[in-house]
Structure 1
Amino acid sequence: MKVVAADSSSAILNEKFDPLTIVATAAVLVDSPYREARGSLPEPIYADANKGYEVIVHEAELCLNLLEKTKADVVHLDISLGAISLEELSPIQFTNMKISTLGKQHLLKILPRIRKIAGEITRKYGIEVLAIGKESIPVRIAELTSGANAILYACEKTLKENQPVLLGLPSKCQPRISDESAYLYSLMAAEHDVRGFAADQSGVLEKVHISEVLNPIARGFRALRIEPKT
């Protein structure tokens, strides 16, 4: 089974480790053995961290864009609603779901746009778009892939602005960085070989100094302090 999935991750943090902006999103194509992306479509987004639910719409759009270049059997989005088909989802069903009041409000704001994109995917490609969330390994791979690309985008930002950047990484992952690429490996149980990857085609990694720190206010999260080399 070939799966197209999308997720956004990594955030620019302030010195108190509060998230300010979500840095990157990525749509990925994942096939057996489901350890890394066979193809990806990443983008920098720098979205307001307080409106993270809005990026789900862009994630769905990226899945649609990726499907123009490749084939898949199903689409997974980072919405945890028990793998229900988004075309079948309606506000009435929210009453029977274990969702917080705030979560319901956010979903109601984006549902019309999400359903429109899901409908277009089904009409064009004959496949379902599922609200499966973090239960999906392809969504996890999309999270790690967007996170790996976020490292490159943050390097570009620090070089452009000539200022240090503190980049918060996705949960429970380990970065491995060379002069040519950035990997994020999952540290979750039974996911030791699941990873995201980004190739440094602009040569930014060799121009910065990167140090890794633990996030002191969010257990399970790491951060990278990125500074221009002098």
Structure 2
Amino acid sequence: MTSIVDPVLSTDHLIRLHKIGFKLIPLKDDGKTPAIKSTNEVYHNRNYWTDEKIAREYSKFKNVATTFGKTHRKDPESNDLYLNEIDIDSKEVFDRLAVVKVRESEHFFLNDMCKLTYVVKTRKKWGRRIFWLSHHQYSPIRISDCKPGFEFEIKTDNTSGHSTLPPSRHRDDANFHYQSIGQETIAIQDGLYDGISKLLSDCLKNKKPYDRKNAITAAGVNVDIILTERH
């Protein structure tokens, strides 16, 4: 997987992030504290930012994050879109999503996502954040919903906090900066939430294991995928 060298946190970079669908949250120097009164203002007002407002308030952006939910970006038919993210926190989840079998052929699912949409490498060895857009808003999946050692999150609203974007620093490590390892766009993938959540159902508390044959939307088409077992 080839890393993309992230630009400095310039006005132009912030405007590009906004244009592709992110709901920007300016962060202070510590990489965690919002530099606005309330992140709910951004969450509830999808038109909170304009190019002009970003330029005018650029000094607030020592670092940058995003919230989720309904975004200002629309599909080609002017339908509403919602921003989602899966945050992979554990090796078990990484392994479950790393390799899948499509029509008897093995595919590197995480690498395929890097070719399709915006993906971030986090500080953890297995850490990945995959962003996508959907026509519906789904329920979030939280760390507290997961079995120990099988942690992941799917963020869909403002109840699970924001997500820090490249090239911002890590909140606990000023020497680590998040890296973009995917595309400079956020793909519309309506089947991705259901596909991922079913594939990872055995990682959740009080969930019945799901048959690993499952329909998932990948690269814009529905395909049957089978998670390849790791030994």
TM-score class, shorter: under 0.3
Specify which structure has the higher proportion of helix: 1
Q: What TM-score do you get using the length of structure 1 for normalisation?
A: 0.26
Specify which structure has the higher proportion of strand: 1
Q: What TM-score do you get using the length of structure 2 for normalisation?
A: 0.26
